[in-house]
């Protein structure tokens, strides 16, 4: 067998084991790909740069929303339990605090005779009362806090409504003013937002899935890599012009702190569906009170980069603290094997204790690869030290701790992933380097896809490269009438 055929065979085998490769968590497992309302696309956890006394938790669902997809636009599911699980005592079990979000959909008159979900009769400028008449399909929701050993606590201070999809200038004029009315206070001193936002995750997804056939060299020069507002050469942001549905919580850091003032916390997001659903004769649904988890997300890219295809659905249904069941996939990196096969590199593929330590622990522990045993709980949690000051929006570096200047000198941003995760963190490029071994080998090259920022974002208070400066910290969603999917060489507005 020739060397070229061997390389191609290895690449195909490795990609079959780990596909999809890296798309945050968009359609990452066979079953969840058929359930967009429960598909967690991204999970963010960071200290607010608008109010440093607050932490921000964001769960995005319903991937790849084409903004003009009417007449029924994108809604959260009434029968999905959306949850944020928090570990604040560093035992790797995220059960100290759980935030639960539930939705309820109503069809308002004249929705009983009119065939559209939203109409400009008059334009929609409010979520309730005058100005909301055209909001024929409206979603209300609740936010509950469950602390270990205590009954649930309703955090709402009154009725709360999800912000509808951005239909267009006639139906939803002054969209950001409407979105601002969808920010509601909570009893804990925080705030909540639920509704549509811009798909902030950026990646050359099409090139990735064409067997790592990226539009640029996967090894970036120091100058290109240091540019946080660059679309390199022919690189493409596949998600440009698409939207997602967002649940964002602003929570006082004092409410999240653990015993003895611990500010190092871990968290993950999950979605669950009723264990049993019975359809009555009149068509109504009768859901059981028991729920089954169908998706989860802590660190970005784990289900794509680490978990084999035949285990992806099981991984989604497994609690984060049971990650030890999947530890062999962390120890033996299928993606590193694929990168080596396609690009003739020599990245380490076995005994990857560095991946175990980085993703499943608060600090390095005893070896578990190669048959090593540990009695500790291993858990895929997104971890953040809320004692680290936030970085202002216009000073954030997409590579976080790996950031550098054009000459290659380190200029790290300590508030970026893996110390939490912010919407603009380039988790694709960081994850590629972690898989390449940068945690143990600083000489690992500047791996990346050439997409260095959220191209084409519109509206709202944001920096030049699309970082939103105020809560809920995701840019304005693209409107259905005038949406754009920006390609290289096109104007961004």
3-state secondary structure the chain: CCHHHHHHHHHHHHHHHHCCCCECECCCCCCHHHCHHHCEEEEEEEECCCCCCEEEEEEEEEEEECCCCCCCCCCCCCCCEEEEEEECCCCCCCCCEEEEEEEEEEECCCCCCCCCCECCCCCCCCCCCCCCCCECEEEEEEEEEEECCCCCEECECCCCECECCCCCCCCCCCHHHHHHCCEEEECCCCEEEEEEEECCCCCCHHHHHCCCCCCCCCECCHHHHHCCCCECCCCCCCCCCCEEEEEEEEEEHHHHCCHHHCCEEEEEEEEEEECCEEECCCCCEEECCCEEEEEEECCCCHHHHCCCHHHHHHHHHCCHHHHHHHHHHHHCCHHHHHHHHHHCCCCCCCCCHHHHHHHHCCCCCCCCHHHCCCCCCCCCCEEEECCCCCCCHHHCCCCHHHCECCCCCECCCCCCCCCCECCCCCHHHHHHHHHHCCCCCCCCCCECCCECCCCCCECCCECCCCCECCCCCCCECCCCCCCCCCCCCCCCC
pLDDT at 212: 82
Token pair in block for residue 69: 């997809």
Nearest to 179 by CA among 472, 431, 489: 472
**Which residues neighbour 284 within 8 Å (Cβ) at sequence distance 6 or greater?**
none
Of residues 38 and 465, the one with the higher pLDDT is 38
Token pair in block for residue 246: 């967002």
- Poorest-confidence range of 12-16, 177-181, 277-281, 470-474? 12-16
Token pair in block for residue 420: 């939490």
Spatial separation of the C-alpha atoms in residues 165 and 135, rounded to whole Å: 10
Given a contact cutoff of 8 angstroms between Cβ atoms, the answer to whether 402 and 433 are in contact is yes
Spatial separation of the C-alpha atoms in residues 422 and 465, rounded to whole Å: 14
**Which residues neighbour 281 within 8 Å (Cβ) at sequence distance 6 or greater?**
none
Nearest to 239 by CA among 277, 213, 208: 208
Q: Tens digit of pLDDT for each residue in 364-384? A: 999 999 876 778 899 999 999
Q: What is the pTM of this model?
A: 0.91
Spatial separation of the C-alpha atoms in residues 15 and 300, rounded to whole Å: 18
Torsion over CA: 257, 161, 35, 236 (sign)? negative
Is the predicted pLDDT of residue 20 greater than 80, yes or no?
A: no
Could you give the C-alpha distances from 300 to 297, 359, 380, 432, 475, in angstroms and in order? 7, 10, 10, 12, 20
pLDDT at 89: 96
Is the predicted pLDDT of residue 27 greater than 80, yes or no?
A: no
Token pair in block for residue 28: 């990452």
Is the predicted pLDDT of residue 434 greater than 80, yes or no?
A: yes
- Poorest-confidence range of 196-200, 215-219, 444-448, 463-467? 463-467
Spatial separation of the C-alpha atoms in residues 22 and 3, rounded to whole Å: 27
Given a contact cutoff of 8 angstroms between Cβ atoms, the answer to whether 368 and 346 are in contact is no
Q: Mean pLDDT across the stretch 61-78?
A: 94
Is the predicted pLDDT of residue 39 greater than 50, yes or no?
A: yes
Q: Mean pLDDT across the stretch 174-196?
A: 98
Spatial separation of the C-alpha atoms in residues 355 and 350, rounded to whole Å: 10
Given a contact cutoff of 8 angstroms between Cβ atoms, the answer to whether 47 and 415 are in contact is yes
Could you give the C-alpha distances from 355 to 260, 330, 349, 444, in angstroms and in order? 29, 6, 11, 15
pLDDT cut 70: percent of the chain above it: 90
Maximum average pLDDT range among 3-7, 233-237, 295-299: 295-299
pLDDT at 489: 65
**Which residues neighbour 242 within 8 Å (Cβ) at sequence distance 6 or greater?**
63, 64, 65, 66, 67, 199, 478, 485
Given a contact cutoff of 8 angstroms between Cβ atoms, the answer to whether 218 and 204 are in contact is no
Is the predicted pLDDT of residue 10 greater than 70, yes or no?
A: no
pLDDT at 371: 77
pLDDT at 426: 96
| Tokens 């409410």, residue located | 255
pLDDT cut 90: percent of the chain above it: 72
The length of the chain is 493
Is the predicted pLDDT of residue 17 greater than 70, yes or no?
A: no
Could you give the C-alpha distances from 388 to 37, 52, 210, 412, in angstroms and in order? 34, 10, 39, 13
Spatial separation of the C-alpha atoms in residues 111 and 132, rounded to whole Å: 13
């Amino acid at each position: 067998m020739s060397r070229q055929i061997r390389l191609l065979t290895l690449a195909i085998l490795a990609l079959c084991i780990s596909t999809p490769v890296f798309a945050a968590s968009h359609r990452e497992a066979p079953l969840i790909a058929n359930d967009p309302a429960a598909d967690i696309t991204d999970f963010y956890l960071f200290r607010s740069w608008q109010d440093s006394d607050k932490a921000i938790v964001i769960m995005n669902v319903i991937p790849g929303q084409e903004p003009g997809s009417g007449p029924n636009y994108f809604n959260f599911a009434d029968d999905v339990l959306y949850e944020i699980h928090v570990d604040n005592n560093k035992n790797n079990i995220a059960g100290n605090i759980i935030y639960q979000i539930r939705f309820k959909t109503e069809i308002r008159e004249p929705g009983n005779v009119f065939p559209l979900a939203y109409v400009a009769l008059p334009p929609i400028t409010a979520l309730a009362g005058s100005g909301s008449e055209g909001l024929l399909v409206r979603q209300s929701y609740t936010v509950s806090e469950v602390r270990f050993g205590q009954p649930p606590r309703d955090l709402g201070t009154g009725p709360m409504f999800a912000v509808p999809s951005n239909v267009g200038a006639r139906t939803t004029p002054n969209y950001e003013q409407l979105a601002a009315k969808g920010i509601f206070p909570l009893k804990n001193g925080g705030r909540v937002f639920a509704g549509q936002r811009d798909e902030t995750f950026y990646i050359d997804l099409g090139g990735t899935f064409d067997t790592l056939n990226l539009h640029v060299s996967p090894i970036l020069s120091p100058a290109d890599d240091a540019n946080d507002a660059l679309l390199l050469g022919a690189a493409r942001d596949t998600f440009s012009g698409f939207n997602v549905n967002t649940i964002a919580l602003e929570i006082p850091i004092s409410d999240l702190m653990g015993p003895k003032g611990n500010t190092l916390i871990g968290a993950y997001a999950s979605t669950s569906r009723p264990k049993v659903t019975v359809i009555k004769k009149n068509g109504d649904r009768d859901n059981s009170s028991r729920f089954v988890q169908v998706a989860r997300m802590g660190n970005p890219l784990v289900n794509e980069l680490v978990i084999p295809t035949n285990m992806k659905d099981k991984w989604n249904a497994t609690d984060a603290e049971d990650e030890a069941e999947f530890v062999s996939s962390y120890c033996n990196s299928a993606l590193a094997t694929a990168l080596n096969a396609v690009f003739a590199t020599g990245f380490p593929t076995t005994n990857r204790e560095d991946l175990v330590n980085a993703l499943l622990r608060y600090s390095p522990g005893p070896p578990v690869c190669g048959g090593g045993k540990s009695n500790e709980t291993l858990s895929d949690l997104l971890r953040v030290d809320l004692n680290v000051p936030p970085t202002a929006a216009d000073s954030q570096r997409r590579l976080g701790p790996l950031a550098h200047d054009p000459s290659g000198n380190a200029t790290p941003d300590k508030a970026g992933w893996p110390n939490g995760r912010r919407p603009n963190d380039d988790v694709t490029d960081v994850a590629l380097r972690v898989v390449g071994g940068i945690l143990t080998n600083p000489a690992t090259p500047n791996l990346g896809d050439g997409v260095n920022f959220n191209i084409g974002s519109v509206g709202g208070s944001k920096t030049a490269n699309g970082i939103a400066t105020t809560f809920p910290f995701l840019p304005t969603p693209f409107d259905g009438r005038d949406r754009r999917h920006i390609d290289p060489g096109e104007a961004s507005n």
